[in-house]
Amino acid sequence: MHLWTCYRNPFNLLLTVLGIVSYSTEDLFAAGVIALMVGISTLLNFHPGGALDQSGGCAEGDGEQHRHRAAGGERAGESRWLELPIDQLVPGDIIRLSAGDMIPADLRILQARDLFVAQASLTGESLPVEKVARSRDPLQQNPLECDTLCFMGTNVVSGSAQAIVFATGGRTWFGQLAGRVSEQESEPNAFQKGISRVSMLLIRFMLVMAPVVLLINGYTKGDWWEAALFALSVAVGLTPEMLPMIVTSTLARGAVKLSKQKVIVKHLDAIQNFGAMDILCTDKTGTLTQDKIVLENHTDVSGKVCERVLHAAWLNSHYQTGLKNLLDTAVLDGVELDAARGLAERWQKVDEIPFDFERRRMSVVVKEDDAAHQLICKGALQEILNVSTQVRYNGDIVPLDDTMLRRIRRVTDTLNRQGLRVVAVATKYLPAREGDYQRADESDLILEGYIAFLDPPKETTAPALKALKASGITVKILTGDSELVAAKVCHEVGLDAGEVVIGSQIEAMSDDELAALAKRTTLFARLAPLHKERIVTLLKREGHVVGFMGDGINDAPALRAADIGISVDGAVDIAREAADIILLEKSLMVLEEGVIEGRRTFANMLKYIKMTASSNFGNVFSVLVASAFLPFLRCCRCTC
């Protein structure tokens, strides 16, 4: 922290002026005491601030040492491809992408084969998204949700593609976010504004009292030089010289205590804002939830829990040889170890029909001893329905007719409204045979039921939300995820989501309309990074002390705009740089403990201000009254 930044505050500047005046009147003792107070206050502010910045920097340094190296682009030539460093890519270049590559620039997909891209660094959502050459939703307004665009800073999970570069460097989405964070002016936060108001109140009172004292003593005593010295003494007496030092030392002590509670304070002023915060805006993924996919439900077609469906899904995930995605891992973890061991011993793999994104399903063929083979197919609901002709309903095999299809839709729509991601499971018995199984064998299947997935809430989330509410803090969820998933999570943690506002609605609102809506809305979904920043800014405009908690690149503008930006040790570098406080544990419970400590620190400062102001005013008033009747001595001076 720069020494000048630590020095400049109204009290230090006022004391400096008074010290200069004292020195010019040859009152060297007073000038020395004032200079000592200013110096101690500045150094106390400088040393803890620097140490805390260094602590934050240590956390940030971890990210610097573990950067993944992005694959260089390959530019198409007349008959060959050229491998180029990232900094030599220009708009118009055509590059090739494959699994494991970091996206080196903002791209538009020209050709894609089973391309899935992880956009967690930009959106905060853990599940990869599919990218295609022809958009399935050409009217999509949020660029991050556009399925034909890839962005710098994301990475390819699977598949391959050719794409054309349309933005590089600072013109990319990533670069614009980083630039916006660095360009944002550092506005005074709520604590700095409060200190300034208190300071200016005392200064105005001093500026009124000093001339009054000068005039009264000048006219009554006739010695204007002595009256001027007495007025100066009154001005010094009204000034709480120790206030800057007390404030700084109290904040520094609070920062040390918070560090023991896994909270690293980068800026001392943030501690009071921590305690004064009345609205906390936070992301959903990883904050309210565990940031991992788990198997939430396994049902038959009527929506009843069914172990048969779970076991079939487990065999499918267990025996597939391709790269297991998050859903497969969740299925494998969803079966108890003894049951899984029994299934593996009972059923042996015969063959496999791999997953592809055209079919959006995959199948394994298993057998039990020398019995008939069983094909188990798992995939997107509509794709499974396309190859199914029968349904297992209440233990019987019945045709998949229109009536049954309506029942299926009702059940799956209910699961979707609960924010669950639904995958269908179907089976088919085939005579034992030699040879490979083909896609054509995925026909006339029997729909068994569904497996449903969710990123579950943390166990500490609900108690933490109750504690924050009891502390007078309103929690608002700002997420890039879908409104159904977010509403489901809010319901499970006891947060009343009420009316959900999505990003496309925000685009059409004026600032006044959004400000009014933001005050009464708890859940905002499908948000772009600048939507989050806008909401935080408007809540601040309405007089709230707003905190924002996030860990992704998409959260950086809102972190910078908030009164108190809160990030975590594992966050991306830009988010940590924009934050005022870094949590060593991504938990709202840690946050609630920090709020209590912040309020305790603020209460101690408030006690000192009240005590000092009342004491100084009483002393000055007593001396002022006495001076009207007693002769004034130059050495008589109020030291408060």
Residues designated as active site:
283
Name the CA dihedral angle for 518, 520, 521, 522, rounded to a multiple of 10 degrees: 110
Query: Which residues does 116 contact at the CB level (< 8 Å), separation at least 6?
Result: 128, 129, 130, 131, 156, 157, 158, 159
Which two structure tokens, joined as six digits, stand for 354?
A: 């791999």
Cα(147)–Cα(140) distance, integer angstroms? 9
Q: What is residue 355's three-state secondary structure? A: strand
Q: Measured over all CA atoms, what is the biggest interatomic distance in the chain, rounded to whole angstroms? A: 121
Q: What is residue 106's three-state secondary structure? A: strand
- Written as one string, the DSSP assignment of 260-302 is TTTEEESSTHHHHHHHH--EEEE-STTTTB-SS-EEEEEEETT
Q: Which amino acid is at 190?
A: A
> How deeply is 156 buried, as exposed, middle or buried, from its count of CB atoms within 10 A (0-12, 13-18, 19+)?
buried
Place of tokens 């505050």: 9
Contact 84, 104 (CB under 8 A): no
Contact 196, 188 (CB under 8 A): yes
Contact 48, 237 (CB under 8 A): no
Phi first, then psi, for residue 388 (nearest 5°) are -110, 145
